[in-house]
Amino acid sequence: MITHNRFGLGAMFLSVSALVASEAWAVTGAARRFTGTSRVINQCSITTAFTTIPGMVQTFVLGGTENDEVVVTFQASWSGVAQQFDTAFVRLTIDNVVQPTNVSVPIFAGVEGTNTHGFTWLSRTLAPGSHTARIQWRTDLGSTFCVDDRTLVVLHR
């Protein structure tokens, strides 16, 4: 009986832990508007410092009277030749602050080719008013990589 109770308590703890862990990722919001831009001009870069991808700047106005988050999506077709051990990265900034934290996402590493990637970020909490989102890119070792058809969309209230 004691073993059975310990097993039951362990299973219950595991179930509650799984529920708490999955709830930590649950977010809701009321996005009533979107603001976006797109470009179809091929641009290449070899920069090792983050710079804004041409055409991937979007100003938006967060309505209401309370602080809130926004959802930002970015989709692009990529090509390039990455040196061995090199990696290309993208990141989102809003008002020149990296979102949601100091995070950059790898596009490709040590390969040659063409592919498409999409990214979605949930911003830090923003105050109502005007903001500017930017998608930036860089490479570790200076390999040539290019972006062609691309879209930046900000979902907000």
Examine the pLDDT at 66 and tell me if it is beyond 90: yes
Q: Which whole number is the average pLDDT over 146-153? A: 94
Q: What is the pTM of this model?
A: 0.77
Residue 129 lies in a domain: yes
Sequence-separated (6 or more) residues with CB below 8 Å from residue 115: 77, 78, 79, 108
Would 3 be classed as within a structural domain? no
- Whole-angstrom distance, CA of residue 138 vs CA of residue 17: 38
What domain count does the chain have?
1
Residue range 125-139, pLDDT digits in tens: 999 999 999 999 998
Nearest Cα to Cα of residue 74 among 22, 133, 15: 133
Domain membership flag for residue 20: no
CATH number at residue 125: 2.60.120.760
Q: What is the mean pLDDT of residues 85-89?
A: 84
- pLDDT for res 8: 40
Whether the pLDDT of residue 102 is over 80: the answer is: no
Percent of the chain with pLDDT over 90: 44
| The pLDDT of residue 54 | 94
Helix, strand, coil percentages in the chain from 3-state DSSP, rounded to 5: 15, 55, 30
Q: Taking 70 as the threshold, does the pLDDT of residue 16 lie above it?
A: no
Q: Which of 117, 106, 125 is nearest to 151 (CA)?
A: 117
Q: Which residues contact 124 (CB under 8 A, 6 or more apart)?
A: 69, 94, 97, 99, 100, 101
**Any domain includes 4:** no
- Domain of 108, in residue numbers: 29-156
